[in-house]
Every structure is written in C-alpha cells, then in structure tokens.
Amino acid sequence: MEASSTAQVAEDPARLAEFEARLSRGETIEPKDWMPDRYRKQLVRMMSQHAHSEVVGMLPEGNWITRAPNLRRKLALLAKVQDEAGHGLYIYCGTETLGVDRAELIDQLLSGKAKYSSIFNYPTLTWADMGAIGWLVDGAAIVNQTMLAHASYGPYARAMVRICKEENFHKRQGYEILATLSRGTPAQKAMAQDAVNRWWWPSLMMFGPSDKDSPNSADLLRWRVKQKSNDDLRQRFVNLTVPQAQAIDLTLPDPDLKYNAETGDWEFGAIDWAEFYQVIGGNGPCNRERLGARRKAHEEGQWVRDAAAAYAEKQARRKKSAA
C-alpha cells in the first residue's frame, strides 16, 4: 500500500507544483485528489497518532468514573469519556480516506508500534486530576485543534470542527471541578493545587518538541496541515491559561513564569525534554498499563464482534431464503 511504504517516492514536478499552487490558493485537498506521497504519509502518521491519543485518553479518566463524588460529576465524566471515543472514531474515519485500513491502525496501536500523546502515560492519582485533565489537557488540545480545523486536508479539518464543538464542554467541566475544590476545605484546595502541579508541565509538552527539534514541523507547515508552530501554540496556551489559574486562586508550578508587557506573553521556564522523550519512548509511569488495558478491552470485546457478525450473517441468509 502506498501509504505505508517507507521508500521516498520521486514526485512528478508538474503535479507537485500544481498541488502546492492549490495549497497557496487556500484550496482544500480531498481524498481522491492527487497528493504527494509524503503529504499522505505525514497525514496518516499525524491523524492516526491523534486518533490513538483520543482512544488511550479514555483510560486515565475512566479510572475515576466509579469514584466520582456525586451523580452529576459521574454523568459528566461518563459523557466526556464517551466523547473521547467518538473523537477517536471521527479521526480514524478521516484517516481511512487516505487509503489505510482501520484494523491495521488498531493493530499498530495494540502492538505498541504506533505512538500516542505522551500525556496519557501519567497516572490519575486523585479526583482533582479529573479537573486538571479537563482544564489543562483538553485546554491544550483545543488550542491545537482549533488550528487543525483549518488544515488543508478536508476530512481532517472537518473532524476537527466536530471535535472543537465538543471540547469546550470538556474544558469547562474540568475547570468547574478545580474551581469548586479550590473554594473548598484546605485539604480540597491542596488536592487541586497538587493536581495542577503534576499536570502543568506534561500539558506544555503536548504541543511537541520545540520547532528547531521537531522533525515533521517543516513539512506540515509548508503543506498547511498546520498553520502555527509548536512553540507558537504552546505560548498561546500559556497566555490563555495563566489568568484562568489566577481566577480560581491556584498557582502554576513555574518560578520563572513572568509577564512580558512588551510582547504581551507570559514567559515560562525551561521544559524538561528529557522527560518527554523518556515517556514517548515507552518509559513513562503508565505506558505498559495503558497498552495492557487497551489490549484487554480489545480481546474481551471479541465475543461481541463475533456475535454481531454472526447475527448479520444469519439475517442476510434469512433475507435471501425469503426472497
């Protein structure tokens, strides 16, 4: 299959020029349109990683569904986790338009070959983590996905529009959890602060390596899959988030955080990229646990898939013999 071949294909210069002209006119690329092999590969890589992240992203929060403090919180968390499953499906559906098979993508995730967002390899230790994930992790995802809603590839952009509409609920429910805890007892407030302290730096890492160290940024920017660099998006997220932390009387764990009145940016301290590469490389606190849970869910769902297939076959046979 073209999309999974690793060899670099020499493109027809005329077609490549026409393709890039279409992009510079702001046109949208659709599945049947001609596209450079590398554009297709970069999209398959990026979109499937994104879809896997949505799916694995259900696990840290799923951990707290049975222990939500009340029914309202439990309903909200259930709905949020269901949305993440839906987001995974939107993006898998978009990735399939590039000529890859969904079963193949799922296999890559379950075998550990595919990557997903490093943030989901951190543990969720307290209820306040549900707040920090909704506020910070979904907040960071919104900044990234709002940009991707203008991606040059139509099916990806359309999936992002759908997702962005739903993410605001995720972010607000998380922020509400932290705001409530912050107004609570000293122990509740300490729990909220602890969660923010643990999730802040991994959230900043979600935007990916600094552009000078990001192997894929140049292609993605040139082909308008992305319109902003990882560093620009990260800065935007920090600028949006600092006042939100202040509003609920929580601090961010960065002694170097300071406002630059000239640029209007909140400048932040150095990110520990060694940690990022450790977690991406499979050595985060929960990598094995997450993949183990995914594999178990997939295997335990086998009888459901078998039963549905057997039922469909039986119905088709009946219909045929009745005709």
In this chain, which of 20, 154, 194, 210 binds other proteins, going by CB under 8 A? 154
Stretch that binds other proteins, among 98-106, 238-246, 255-263, 292-300 (CB under 8 A): 98-106
142 contacts 208 by C-beta, under 8 angstroms: no
In this chain, which of 125, 312, 317, 318 binds other proteins, going by CB under 8 A? 312
Question: What sign does the CA torsion over 210, 213, 215, 218 have?
Answer: positive
In angstroms, rounded to a whole number, what is the distance separating the alpha carbons of residues 278 and 285?
A: 10
CB of 173 to other proteins, least distance (A): 14
Q: Per CB under 8 A, which of residues 165..194 are in contact with other proteins?
A: 166
In this chain, which of 134, 155, 174, 202 binds other proteins, going by CB under 8 A? 155
In angstroms, rounded to a whole number, what is the distance separating the alpha carbons of residues 186 and 276?
A: 32
Distances (CA, A) of 130 to 22, 63, 80, 175: 43, 10, 11, 9
CB of 23 to other proteins, least distance (A): 15
Number of H helices, E strands in the chain: 14, 2
247 binds other proteins (CB under 8 A): no
Q: Which is nearer to other proteins, 73 or 80 (CB)?
A: 80
Q: What does DSSP assign to residue 137?
A: I
94 binds other proteins (CB under 8 A): yes
Stretch that binds other proteins, among 190-198, 199-207, 223-231, 305-313 (CB under 8 A): 305-313
Stretch that binds other proteins, among 69-77, 82-90, 219-227, 258-266 (CB under 8 A): 82-90
Residue span 50-79 as binding mask against other proteins, x where in contact by CB under 8 A, dash where not:
-----------------------------x
Q: Which is nearer to other proteins, 273 or 311 (CB)?
A: 311
H-run or E-run covering 258:
strand 258-260
Locate tokens 């799916």: which residue? 55
Closest of 108, 81, 102, 283 to residue 174, by C-alpha: 81
89 binds other proteins (CB under 8 A): yes
H-run or E-run covering 266:
strand 265-267
308 binds other proteins (CB under 8 A): yes
CB of 158 to other proteins, least distance (A): 8
In angstroms, rounded to a whole number, what is the distance separating the alpha carbons of residues 117 and 208?
A: 9
Stretch that binds other proteins, among 133-141, 143-151, 158-166, 285-293 (CB under 8 A): 158-166
In angstroms, rounded to a whole number, what is the distance separating the alpha carbons of residues 301 and 305?
A: 7
Q: Name beta bridge partners: 267.
A: 258
Contacting positions for other proteins (CB under 8 A): 1, 30-34, 79, 82-83, 86, 89-90, 93-94, 96-97, 99-104, 154-155, 158-159, 162, 166, 305, 308-309, 311-313, 315-316
